[in-house]
Amino acid sequence: MDFAFITSIVLVLGVVFVNGWTDAPNAIGSAVATRALSPRTAIIMAFFCNFLGVLLMTGISTEVADTISKMVDFSPKGAMGGSDGNEARIVLAAAMFAIVIWAVGAWRMGIPTSESHSLIAGLTGAALALGGLSSINFSEWVKVIIGLGVSSVLGFSSGWVIVRIIERLARHAQRAKAERFFHKGQVGAAALMAFLHGAQDGQKFMSVFMLALFLNGSATRSPDGTFNIPLWVMALCSLVMGLGTLVGGKRIIKTVGLDMVKMQTYQGFASDLSASGCLLLASLTGLPVSTTHTKTTAMMGVAASRRVSSVDWGIVREMGWAWILTFPGCGFIGFLIAKLFLLIF
């Protein structure tokens, strides 16, 4: 093991930690907004559900991990599956460093930026610095664009539709009974959201962890560019992600759960249910969608179904700019840091 390998492993785990810090709280934000769960209880629940999501969903399908593992190539010649020893490990470390910089900056401002898109952008920028355009597998990148549409359009529209259906079905129900039902339902739906966050984001970051092992000669890659992820990697990444949620979750919960929209319990239940459906569909089809985008757009759709003014569009604009700038911004940082690291090391 050399310095570049150790650094890349530490930084990959750092990015997993930051993902739990910044992305995982989005999954439980609406449960806090509706007072179904306290912030502390919600964060503890997210810790365990994220852990289970990583372990169980990877056993069912590794489509998302496969997409990420084939998206870029850290070989200077751009031959998928190749590696260039020390240079490749240095560039991977640079990509992870860029992602941490971007994510921590967004966290400091309380903006729920997409850690998934930061990961994709940072990896892409670093790969370009090493191998140029030939290092990018554009057929896999198409899935990112499709996933962006799924997380935004389908998240908003399904939130709108599901809350309308719930309102119609429960319009004659006694208010007290309905509140109790949706209170329990909100807790279950928030747990499902946290589980699917682990399923989606856990696979993305495990794939990068396996890439670091592969570049050091400690893991093998199948001919199609995918990895067989061992149980210890699943456990390690899910544990680090959960610790990140425990440490830093409250700031993002405040933005998403308390500031952006004002919701009743049944609306929070609807937003979690619609976002969970989108994440499950994406996980089974290999689309690397953003948990942040999916959840926040679902909450917007639910809130806007009654009144457009129910959404704080000022916060939405801030998040929108963060989402728009993530690909070029984090990608450019990854490119620059990769070039810098190659010069220094």
pLDDT tens track for 186-208: 889 889 988 988 888 888 888 88
Range scoring the smallest mean pLDDT among 13-17, 21-25, 81-85, 159-163: 81-85
**Residue 17 tokens, joined:** 């930690």
Q: Is 220 left (phi over 0), alpha (psi -120 to 50) or beta?
A: beta
User: Which pLDDT value is given to residue 339?
Assistant: 94
User: Would you say residue 78 has pLDDT above 50?
Assistant: no
Average pLDDT over residues 333-339: 94
DSSP 203-230: HHHHHHHHHHHHHTTSS---TTS-----
pTM over 0.95: no
Average pLDDT over residues 121-139: 90
User: Which pLDDT value is given to residue 336?
Assistant: 95
Provide the β-strand partners of residue 261.
Answer: 311
Q: Is 277 left (phi over 0), alpha (psi -120 to 50) or beta?
A: alpha
User: Would you say residue 25 has pLDDT above 60?
Assistant: yes
User: Which pLDDT value is given to residue 115?
Assistant: 78
Beta strands in the chain (DSSP E): none
User: Would you say residue 245 has pLDDT above 90?
Assistant: no
Question: For all residues of the chain together, what is the average pLDDT?
Answer: 81
Report d(CA 99, CA 261) in Å as an integer: 28
User: Would you say residue 79 has pLDDT above 50?
Assistant: no
> Among residues 240, 232, 219, 210, which one has the least CA distance to residue 70?
210
Average pLDDT over residues 290-315: 78
Label residue 264 exposed, middle or buried (CB < 10 Å: 0-12, 13-18, 19+): middle
pLDDT grade, residue 81 (50/70/90)? very low
> Among residues 246, 245, 225, which one has the least CA distance to residue 291?
245
User: Which pLDDT value is given to residue 80?
Assistant: 43
User: Would you say residue 76 has pLDDT above 80?
Assistant: no
Domain-by-domain residue ranges, the chain? 3-344
pLDDT grade, residue 121 (50/70/90)? very high
User: Would you say residue 256 has pLDDT above 80?
Assistant: no
pLDDT grade, residue 268 (50/70/90)? confident
Q: What angle do CA 42, 44, 50 make, to 5 degrees?
A: 95
